[in-house]
Amino acid sequence: MHVLIVDDEPVIRTGLKKIVSQLGPPIMTVHLAENGEDALAYIAEHSPDLVLTDIRMPRMDGLELCRRLSQLESEIPIIVISGYHDFEYAQKCLSYGVKEYVLKPVNKGKLHEVLLKQIAKLQKRRATAKLSELDVEGWLEQTVDAIWLMDEPRLIDLLAQLRQDLDGTMPESRKAAELMQRLLGQLVKQLQAKDFTPQAAAAAAAGAAMAAAGAGGGAGAGADSDGDDPSDFEAAFEAFRVQVVGMLTELRLKRKGKAKDPIEEAKEYIERNLSKEVSLEEVADMLGFNPSYFSQLFKLTTNETFVQFRIRRRMELAKRLLEQPQHRIVDISYDVGYADHAHFTKTFKKYAGCSPSEYRQKLGIE
């Protein structure tokens, strides 16, 4: 924390600096100014975290300093330190956003109490701002993708990134826990849209939502305290981490350990079995998908239906085989999955614009 002390009396300035410095961390820097004019110039350049100012000073007094900062819509907390007879001025300062008023002579204990109070408020405000700045949608999109592709190293990195982004939000651990509860619910919802429901995480998200509703909107994990205990935050994040990694584990089990992209794996399976009558239901079951959802996903990913893709790859293979004179057309028909030669001929003509024999004639193959 960076504190600015403004007072025209050298002895008082020095004394205040000593008292403030004795508070220790989080106060790291204390700067001194002789009047409001010097203070305003310093604030414009360095933007301290807290300002302690006297009222009666030459060139620009504390009242004018407060008024100027109010006009600038400054959010820097101001603590006025002045004599008893200046209380009327201090009251006016309050209309300029002054947070505290401390009487001279300054009592060390009282000043430390006021400073700690303002520091705590400042930390909470910054923590809340930090939470609101997080790219929640971006993190969700990447995390769903990592889970769906079963990319565990990437998922671990994304969780570490989130933990780092939340660092410093411990004073607002209740809000952080609420964010993690919301993220868990969104992950479950987005994975359900892909026809996968992570059972443990879904149960945890539902339980947290019920607990929050029963507590009048509490935070779930860590919400039974005032939300300022760092251990609450750590426990909440660890529970969240376990649930997210558990989603990937559940999906891996559902897919029977297959870690490739499901559509790419489906395409490879079709390629390996072009001579067989492979059904969409068979491939969907192999990958752990509902057939209806798998059909939609395949079309969305490849811009072809499952059947269209299989026919195209069969016909492309047929063309390659037809370009090799040693292969008989009737054998090619079986090699690409057509026991009915007439059906093969009809399908090839629809795909290539000519029959298999005509295709060979164009290539000069008799």
- The tens digit of pLDDT for each residue in 235-245 reads 888 888 888 98
- pLDDT-derived band of residue 132, with 50, 70 and 90 as boundaries? low
Residue 259 pLDDT exceeds 70:
no
pLDDT tier at 84 (50, 70, 90 boundaries)?
A: low
Closest Cα partner for 137 from 62, 93, 187? 187
pTM: 0.47
Residue at token pair 């790219």: 135
Q: Is 235 exposed, middle or buried (0-12, 13-18, 19+ CB in 10 A)?
A: middle
Q: Break the chain into its structural domains and give their ranges.
A: 2-130, 134-254, 262-362
**Could you read off the pLDDT of 182-195 as tens digits, one per residue?**
888 889 889 988 88
CA atoms of 347 and 341, how far apart (whole Å): 10
What local confidence, expressed as pLDDT, does residue 257 receive?
66
CATH code: domain 262-362 is: 1.10.10.60
Taking residues 46-75, what's their average pLDDT? 89
The least confident of 23-27, 199-203, 305-309 is 199-203
Choosing among 3.40.50.720, 3.40.630.30, 1.10.150.650, 3.40.50.2300, the CATH entry for 2-130 is 3.40.50.2300
User: Phi and psi for 274 in degrees, rounded to 5?
Assistant: -65, -25
Instruction: Give the span between the Cα atoms of 218 and 226, in whole angstroms.
Output: 10
d(CA 11, CA 8): 9
Query: What pLDDT score does 218 carry?
Result: 42
